Amino acid sequence: CGRCEALNIMRVFITGSAGFIGFHLARLLLEEGHVVHGYDGITDYYDVRLKQRRHALLRQYPAFTATEAMLEDATALQAAARAAQPDVIVHLAAQAGVRYSLQNPRAYIDANLVGTFNVLQVAQTLEPRHLLMASTSSVYGANTDMPFGEQQKTDLPLTLYAATKKANEAMAHAWAHIYGVPTTMFRFFTVYGPWGRPDMALFKFTQGILQGTPIDLYNRGDMRRDFTYVDDLVRAIRLLIDAAPPAPDRRRPEQGWQPIEGDSLSPVAPWRVVNIGNSEPVRLLDFVEAIEEALGKPALRNELPMQTGDVPATWADCTLLQRLTGYRPQTPVREGVRRFVAWYREYH
């Protein structure tokens, strides 16, 4: 609307708005005064009450509305998006979880491939000024050259989850090339924080320690992860919204465009991929110690071999993110864990 444009208010359509990251991003945008329409299937992959609670909190904002329907329902998705008339689409909904992809692979085909195709068709129809889509650090797969950079090859995924996300990147590139919708893919690195998913390590470790049950440490805890605090992550996404990749015909010095060193920008489409991580791999055992410290209680440890599809380490090179936005995640793990534990105690 004209009033929104005058006040620099964006209309943002977020898939996965009842999810961990979608909830935090929606709340950040609403706090800034933007209009948000959420779209979420509220599936039972984990406790639906947690998802419902997130949506209930978002509905306290007058500028938030939501549609509860599946990504695979192309008709419902198109109708919701048309009604929202978004300036920006942020596609976060997906079947998540590396390990669950070994148990229920069909869910990843339906949500991550068919669902993402439906989102791309929405973008093709509505032509938002920027389409942003979630990928994952899991696409780096068997790579061992760290830190992981956006220009590394990602041709060796180790799980179906990673393979579907790699396919999403390729699908989005083709759509950006054919239809010209500026598209940014972001690769997340081990996101954690309040309102997190119960299947994630921090949630399970905290629950286990409090209940006095053993926590599973794969590869006997000899793993490193680039833990990224959720508030840092959604701040990075928010800043990337304003950094839409230019089309090939606009990349001319006389038009004021300057190339960015190390950019992953496609030579044939308004498309790029950006890492979002803390750029600091942390030992899993140190992560557990941070939880023990925050809880004031030691963990009972169940040491297990490496699980199929897992990798020993992740580490993000976030130089491109910083060059595009001037921002880099930096919340220390001990501080992030402390905030999660405080939320967990309050929530339960």
What residues are annotated to the active site?
161
Question: Is 85 in contact with 70 (CB distance < 8 Å)?
Answer: no
Contacts of 249 (CB under 8 A, 6+ apart): none
Secondary structure (H, E, C), 32-46: CCCEEEEEECCCCCC
Own/partner contacts of 206-209, CB < 8 Å, gap of 24 or more, are 206/291, 206/295, 206/340, 206/341, 206/344, 207/344, 208/299, 208/300, 209/291, 209/292, 209/295, 209/297, 209/298, 209/299, 209/300
Question: Is 99 in contact with 105 (CB distance < 8 Å)?
Answer: no
Alpha helices in 217-283 (DSSP H): 230-241
Q: Which residue has the tokens 């179906």?
A: 160
Bridge partner list, 184: 132, 272
CA distance 95 to 198: 14
